[in-house]
């Protein structure tokens, strides 16, 4: 089965990051991340990836009726290699470290194992999954169980307190803020992030933890109604770190905020009031939700705690 955070490769030398569990019309919903040009791999930014596929491989563009949007998609029959985070982490932990990134990954995983975490519930995604890491690469870990994920967050908090790993410093936060293209001020971004404990530094290398559960709490078939900005109280935060994240609301019309961008995962807790901007969508039963992250950069879309 294809899961979000997996990667898939095609015969043309294109590597896509999977963005949705399962298949839609026999296709893997994904986003182009790497391509091979003249025998060398190149990382693709969002605008380049979209333009490149339109011009060279339009058959990898797909209209998704489930989310009422155009996305990248690869037919399952066109996949020549399926990169799976859990298998890759298992393999990397058995290897002799060949670079600083792998050495830091192994060190971090030893700290987590010493904290009682079950490493077979974790995988590695991003550049390490496809062997594209360089000296400056981050470590992107994905956890496949909600309980283990929150235990990992508590472990990060404890390890920082013990100075066995470090919290992000001001320059680290600024770099993360610039990469995320967040839609509010830096100090507000840092306030939201510091209480999540899903990222840290090991040997001056940033790592991130993300949660992926097999059950899609935001599934269904939707059509867009329009852009909106709302304020509401968060009714439940159990799925706030999921992919996609889901924040049920106490609101007269909008049942939930669903977030497809990691920037705002874990952003709010039960009982807090939020301001959220995004696209209102309605399902076949007439239930409405507000989607944050309708595009990869999610410009103008956000979740912010009112404090």
Q: Do residues 189 and 217 touch, judged by C-beta distance below 8 A? A: no
Do the strands 27-37 and 69-75 form a parallel or antiparallel pair, or are they unpaired?
Answer: antiparallel
The terminus-to-terminus CA distance of the chain in angstroms comes to 42
Do the strands 288-292 and 273-283 form a parallel or antiparallel pair, or are they unpaired?
Answer: antiparallel
DSSP state of 127: G
pLDDT of residue 217: 52
Helices and strands counted in the chain (H then E): 6, 17
Give the number of C-alpha atoms closer than 13 A to the C-alpha of residue 239, restricted to the C-beta side. Answer: 20
DSSP state of 296: S
Look up the pTM and report it: 0.92
Buried b (16+ CB within 10 A) or exposed e, 163-183: ebbebbeeebbeebbeebebb
Helix crossing, 170-180 with 186-194: angle to 10°? 100
Q: pLDDT tens, position by position, for the chain (307 residues)?
A: 999 999 999 999 999 999 999 999 999 999 999 999 888 999 999 899 999 999 999 999 999 887 778 899 999 999 999 999 999 999 999 999 989 999 999 999 999 999 999 999 999 999 999 999 999 999 999 999 999 999 999 999 999 999 999 999 999 999 999 988 788 899 999 999 999 999 999 999 999 999 998 665 556 788 899 999 999 999 999 999 999 999 999 999 999 999 999 999 999 999 999 999 999 999 989 999 999 987 777 789 999 999 8
């Amino acid at each position: 089965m294809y899961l979000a955070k997996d990667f898939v490769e095609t015969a043309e030398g294109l590597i896509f990051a999977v963005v949705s569990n399962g298949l839609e019309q026999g296709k893997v919903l994904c986003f182009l991340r790497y391509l091979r040009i003249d025998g060398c791999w190149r990382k693709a930014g969002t605008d380049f990836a979209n333009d490149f596929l339109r011009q060279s491989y339009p058959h990898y563009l797909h209209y998704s009726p489930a989310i009422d949007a155009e996305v990248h998609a690869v037919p399952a029959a066109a996949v020549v290699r399926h990169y799976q985070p859990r298998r890759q982490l298992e393999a990397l932990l058995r290897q002799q470290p060949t670079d600083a990134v792998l050495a830091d990954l192994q060190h971090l995983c030893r700290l987590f194992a010493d904290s009682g975490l079950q490493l077979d519930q974790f995988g590695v995604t991003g550049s390490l999954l496809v062997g594209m890491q360089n000296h400056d690469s981050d470590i992107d870990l994905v956890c496949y169980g909600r309980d283990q994920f929150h235990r990992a967050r508590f472990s990060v908090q404890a390890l920082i307190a013990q100075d066995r790993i470090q919290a992000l410093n001001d320059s680290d936060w600024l770099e993360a803020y610039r990469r995320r293209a967040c839609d509010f001020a830096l100090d507000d971004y840092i306030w939201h992030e510091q209480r999540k404990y899903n990222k840290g530094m090991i040997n001056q290398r940033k790592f991130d933890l993300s949660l992926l559960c097999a059950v899609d709490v935001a599934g269904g078939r939707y059509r867009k109604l329009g852009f909106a900005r709302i304020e509401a109280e968060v009714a439940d935060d159990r799925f706030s770190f999921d992919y996609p994240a889901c924040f049920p609301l106490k609101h007269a019309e909008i049942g939930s905020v669903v977030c497809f961008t990691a920037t705002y995962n874990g952003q709010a807790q039960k009982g807090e009031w939020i301001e959220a901007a995004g696209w209102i969508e309605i399902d076949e039963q007439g239930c409405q939700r507000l989607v944050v992250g309708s595009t990869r950069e999610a410009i103008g879309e956000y979740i912010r705690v009112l404090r």
